[in-house]
Amino acid sequence: QVQLVESGGGVVQPGRSLRLSCAASGFTFSSFAIHWVRQAPGKGLEWVAVISYDGSNNYYADSVKGRFTISRDNSKNTLYLQMNSLRVEDTAVYYCAREGWGYDSSGYYRNSGFDYWGQGTLVTVSS
| Contacts with another protein, residue ranges (CB under 8 A) | 35, 37, 44-47, 50, 59-62, 95, 97, 99-100, 102-105, 110-115, 117-120
Nearer to another protein, 5 or 16 (CB): 5
Nearest-approach distance from CB 6 to another protein, in angstroms: 10
Nearest-angstrom CA–CA distance, 52 and 108: 20
Q: Decide: 102 and 110 in contact? Cβ < 8 Å.
A: yes
Closest approach of another protein to the CB of residue 125, in Å? 21
CB of 4 or CB of 127, closer to another protein: 4
φ and ψ at 124, to 5 degrees?
-120, 120
Report the alpha-carbon distance of residue 11 to residue 39 in Å, rounded.
Answer: 16
User: CA 21 to CA 28: how far, in whole Å?
Assistant: 17
Nearer to another protein, 44 or 75 (CB): 44
Specify the residue, 3 or 13, whose C-beta has the smaller distance to another protein: 3
